[in-house]
Amino acid sequence: MNWYETVFELIDMRSFSNLWFWIALAVLWSSTSHWVLGVPWDMVTRARKAERTGEDDQSVIDLHDMVRINTNRILYIMRESGLLASGFACFILTATFMLGFYYRIEFAQAVFLLAMPMSLVALLSFWSARKIRLREMQGALLYRQMHRHRLVTQVIGMVSIFITAMWGMLQNMTLGVLGG
């Protein structure tokens, strides 16, 4: 096997049989559940602990500042370009769905199975940011909302990984039976 064949075998466009796709899927959902509204989860737990014990007020202030900055940013983006971004996202999702499942392009299937659940997380982030801003959440109420947001994100991730794994196995078995 020469160098050219080795490189193209390593970056094979058959996504579901490629180790890199599964690594990307794991990293995507790991980082998505760690960053809640753009705030690292360890920052939320540190602030919650600090507020409960009455020590290290700076971590509570830092968390509230980060949440305020990120919710303002999310709401600003949605206010200024939300309609355009939504239309573009719907176009991309529809195009990848059609390419993947109607025209049977495996790479498009993989992109759709990554992008569709992430669009749900984006919607969830907008709703959470809006709720935090409208109710001016602070303290325990804010921690509860952040925890709820993370939990729903993790559920979306688990369902997404399950569906992707089942579809990937079906694709690999089908292509294995048909001979490539």
Contacts of 25 (CB under 8 A, 6+ apart): 114, 161, 164
Q: Which two tokens stand for residue 26?
A: 């794991």
* Domains of the chain by residue range: 64-175
Q: Is the Cα torsion angle 93, 95, 98, 104 positive or negative in sign?
A: negative
- The H or E element containing residue 112 is helix 106-135
Residue 173 Cα to chain centre, angstroms: 27
Report pTM.
0.88
- Three-class DSSP category at 73: helix
Q: Which two tokens stand for residue 163?
A: 């569906």
pLDDT tens per residue, range 3-45: 767 665 555 557 888 888 999 999 999 999 999 999 999 999 9
Alpha carbons 47 and 64: distance in angstroms, whole number = 9
pLDDT tens per residue, range 119-168: 999 999 999 999 999 999 999 999 999 999 999 999 999 999 999 999 99
